[in-house]
Amino acid sequence: MGEEANPIHLFRQLHHHYGPQHWWPSESPFEVMVGAILTQNTAWERVETAIENLRVNQLLSVEGILSVSQSELAELIRPSGYFNLKSKRLQGYCSWYMEHEEQLWKMDTNRLREALLGVNGVGPETADDILLYAFERPVFVVDAYTRRIFQRTGILSGDESYEPIRSRVEQAFSAEGGEIRVQQFNEFHALIVAHAKQHCRTRPLCDGCPLRCGYPSTQASSR
């Protein structure tokens, strides 16, 4: 494996090209949690509309979300899609969070991740979003954009599952302290999202791409 297929090298390339991203777009840790659940299978722009609906109705809190019926909540978060399912999951998460909030913030990262994964509707990507951006723990988030860019740059050789990808990136950055890695993983995920939207799309746009990864379909589509 050469330098081009190294996660740290990829991070440096993207950071040099795009600069700091200062992401996740939220005003509080709890808003991150809500956004992580609502963004499942939908675009962030639609999630922002749903969150704003909660905010203007003064319901963007654990107590607020639990104070309305599931059908009322579903209507408010309708823009995020799958609103009936997500309203159920969101209220379930809020009930769990209200019950365990104090001890959650004291848990070590592995225990906290296991606890999050035990909540209905919280899978690995959602759990890691919450861990990184709400609890500020040094975990790497693997999403569809990550897989696409990692495959095209040779970091992935095929259809590796979520955990090996996450572990590989975390191990590559393991020499850094926890607080530094939180900042790095925050930036790396945001940079991946920025690059996937600008260049590494399903049908890639290779002109001006800072990676020049040589992915076959990118060469064909740039002609």
- Using alpha carbons, select from 92, 173, 78, 160 the residue that is nearest to residue 126: 92
- For residue 148, pLDDT beyond 70: yes
**Per-residue confidence at 217, pLDDT binned at 50, 70, 90?**
low
Quote the distance between the C-alpha of residue 48 and its chain's center: 15
Supply the mean pLDDT for the chain.
91
State if pTM tops 0.95: no
> What is the C-alpha to C-alpha distance for residues 170 and 32, in angstroms, rounded to an integer?
22
Class of domain 29-108: mainly alpha
- Domain ranges (residues) in the chain: 29-108
- Using alpha carbons, select from 38, 23, 1, 65 the residue that is nearest to residue 188: 23
The pLDDT, as a whole number, for residue 4 is: 53
Quote the distance between the C-alpha of residue 91 and its chain's center: 20
Cα angle 82-151-159, degrees, rounded to a multiple of 5: 65
176-203: average pLDDT = 92
102-120: average pLDDT = 97
The pLDDT, as a whole number, for residue 25 is: 66
Q: What is the pLDDT of residues 85-95, one digit of tens each?
A: 999 999 999 99
CA quadruple 136, 186, 124, 193: dihedral sign: positive
